[in-house]
Amino acid sequence: MRTDEIGASSSTRDAVRFDNSGLAAGVLPLLAATGSLVACYGTLLAAGAFGIEMVGWRGHLQAVVMWGLGGVVLWALWSERVQHGRNLPLAIGAVGVGLILFVLYVHFEQSLEILAYVCLVVAALLNQNYLVGAYARRLRSQNSEIADLNARLKDRVAQQTGEIERLDKLRDFLSPRVAELVVAGGGVRLLDSHRRYIACLFCDIRNFTSFTEEAEPEDTIAVLQAFHDRIGELTGRHNGTIGFRAGDGVMVFFNDPIPCEHPVRDALGLAVAIREAATDLCRTWERLGFSIGIGIGIAAGYATLGLIGTKGGAGYTAIGNPVNIAARLCDLAEDNAILLDQRAYLDVENTVTAEPAETHRLKGVRKPVETYRLRALTVDA
């Protein structure tokens, strides 16, 4: 839930508590007015209605109780007018208390005394009526706020559901961290076709065909699973994007959908990490009598990227000259070799040790391609 939604719900709870306490406090003026009335006429009422003779008051004490409780009425009306915003109950109550003081200390008049208590009771009842009205208005406002909050929450849930669906879609061909970055940044538009400069890496297992002829199917699946698990882990660590997996091969590209400053250097870092991991994996199977290796090709250039395929079978990948060249170089690479085309090499020539390899005419590529064989990284990629 967002901060403004939390704030809205908190203010709603506070308002409910405020109104409930105000409604309960509305009883105080009525009780105080009734108490003052009883102080004035209680003895007479008990004797006349019930025949009960009560001990008489001292006149001064009775007067103090009468106007004192009237003062409580005024204080309560003053305090509660803030909640309903009306001054009329306070004005009527003030008239009532003023009349009480007048008949007690200036000139006694029975009708004025009765009018004084009518004013006090009316003021207390009017005050409580205003409080109930204010409570009802506040409740309607709160219901409207809750409806708005629910609508915002519904929209937010729908938005998050869409993000989750897009994230699940992206996880098929992006590392989890990259997929989350794309979704969080609203970058699903990046799935649309576009052009970008990328570094492309192809990698596959050497002698895999002969290996499958000799090995049990279970061993073949185990080799592939271990290979792709390790490649996937390393690709995520180096912020690459897996274009596709095909049996014993995999294609990874860099600088899309998340831009990187040195795509070729990042690709070389992944290539070296894959070679080191493959050495350990291949050593295990060599002990079982299977001779397999790995070859890697890397090329750089502009490619077209986007979502390619049909619903249920689409993938985010790259097509273009660097993809074709990287695939051909991978085919040409010897066991444990990393081959670069000239453009990729020129991007990193100051950070690697490499030696010129042959110039090749590659299928699907018009011009001859100069290649370089990586020896070592002189700067960590």
Structure tokens of 255?
A: 């600088």
235 and 363, same domain (yes or no) = yes
Strand partners, 352: 377
306 and 372, same domain (yes or no) = yes
> Please, what's the b/e burial string for 316-346 (b: 16 or more CB within 10 A of its CB; e: otherwise)?
bbbebbbbbbbbbbbebbeeebbbbbbbbbe
37 and 98, same domain (yes or no) = yes
* pLDDT (0 to 100) of residue 35: 84
In a domain, 161, yes or no: no
From 149, 168, 186, the end of a domain falls on 149
For residue 68, what are the domain limits?
3-149
137 and 55, same domain (yes or no) = yes
In a domain, 350, yes or no: yes
* pLDDT (0 to 100) of residue 10: 47
CB of 343 within 8 A of CB of 369? Answer: no
* pLDDT (0 to 100) of residue 177: 57
In a domain, 155, yes or no: no
207 and 346, same domain (yes or no) = yes
228 and 276, same domain (yes or no) = yes
144 and 197, same domain (yes or no) = no
Distance CA 104, CA 97 (A): 11
In a domain, 79, yes or no: yes
313 and 251, same domain (yes or no) = yes
Tens of each residue's pLDDT in the chain, 381 residues: 444 444 444 444 444 444 444 445 578 888 888 888 888 876 565 444 444 444 455 567 878 888 888 889 889 889 888 888 889 988 998 998 898 888 888 888 888 888 988 888 898 888 888 888 888 888 888 888 898 888 889 888 887 777 666 666 666 555 565 566 666 665 556 567 889 999 999 999 888 877 787 778 888 888 888 888 889 899 988 989 888 888 888 999 999 887 889 999 999 999 999 998 888 877 777 777 777 889 999 999 999 998 776 655 567 789 999 999 999 999 999 988 999 999 999 999 999 999 999 899 888 888 899 999 999 888 655
* pLDDT (0 to 100) of residue 214: 78
* pLDDT (0 to 100) of residue 213: 79
User: Cα 299–303–309 angle (5° rounding)?
Assistant: 115
64 and 136, same domain (yes or no) = yes
Query: Could you give the number of structural domains in the chain?
Result: 2
* pTM assigned to the model: 0.57
In a domain, 339, yes or no: yes
139 and 186, same domain (yes or no) = no
Task: Supply φ then ψ for residue 250, to 5 degrees.
Answer: -150, 145
Distance CA 114, CA 103 (A): 10
